[in-house]
A and B are shown apart, each in its own frame.
Chain A
Amino acid sequence: GAVVSQHPSRVICKSGTSVKIECRSLDFQATTMFWYRQFPKQSLMLMATSNEGSKATYEQGVEKDKFLINHASLTLSTLTVTSAHPEDSSFYICSASGGKDTQYFGPGTRLTVL
């Protein structure tokens, strides 16, 4: 089956620093990748959708200058949380789609901002 990896799985950083999270589709080409955020005991909320080679589409309320998304190849998308603050601490999950209906999810990245 389709496999999606995320790196790192867990990151702790100081307030004001930037953190980059990678999402890779290991055995298929992902024309579209999605980034979700999940706060404790809450559901996954879509942050943005990115198509390879084009700018990401952000959901309402998500700051595009704070959450930089790059989808430079068909197997890699990155999410950079710039100038992270404690309120950005969350579980970030990516998913990838090869053009059909199914989204394949990564294992998630736990971000803790001190």
Chain B
Amino acid sequence: KQEVTQIPAALSVPEGENLVLNCSFTDSAIYNLQWFRQDPGKGLTSLLLIQSSQREQTSGRLNASLDKSSGRSTLYIAASQPGDSATYLCAVRGNTPLVFGKGTRLSVIA
């Protein structure tokens, strides 16, 4: 059974810092991996989707990498801003629907 782990569970950084969020998964037989943002009490916003054949995806200040063989992904956020404060969820898709990690709660302090 696929299990997704995200480290750290919570992170607080001053504005302007670059930061890395980590995601690991136990079954490397995946189709894709997706990073989402969730604001308190809200739904999910898809940030980046990496297909299993890809190594990374970039969107603005966000860069996600995927190492399928080792079961790891990272989300890099450059020049963090207070508006980046949210919970970031990693999810993997294999033969099952998306399996989610518990998320990393990010606070960017002005």
Contacts and interface: CB of A to CB of B under 8 A. Distances in A.
Contacts, number: 46
Interface residues of B, number: 22
Q: Is the interface of B mostly helix, strand, loop or mixed?
A: strand
A102 B49 contact: yes
A67 to B, nearest CB: 16
Given A42-B102, A95-B98, A106 B43 contact: yes
A114 to B, nearest CB: 18
Nearest to A110: B41
Given A43-B103, A102-B49, A93 B43 contact: yes
B79 interface: no
Interface of A: 6, 34, 36, 41-46, 49, 91, 93, 95, 101-103, 105-108, 110
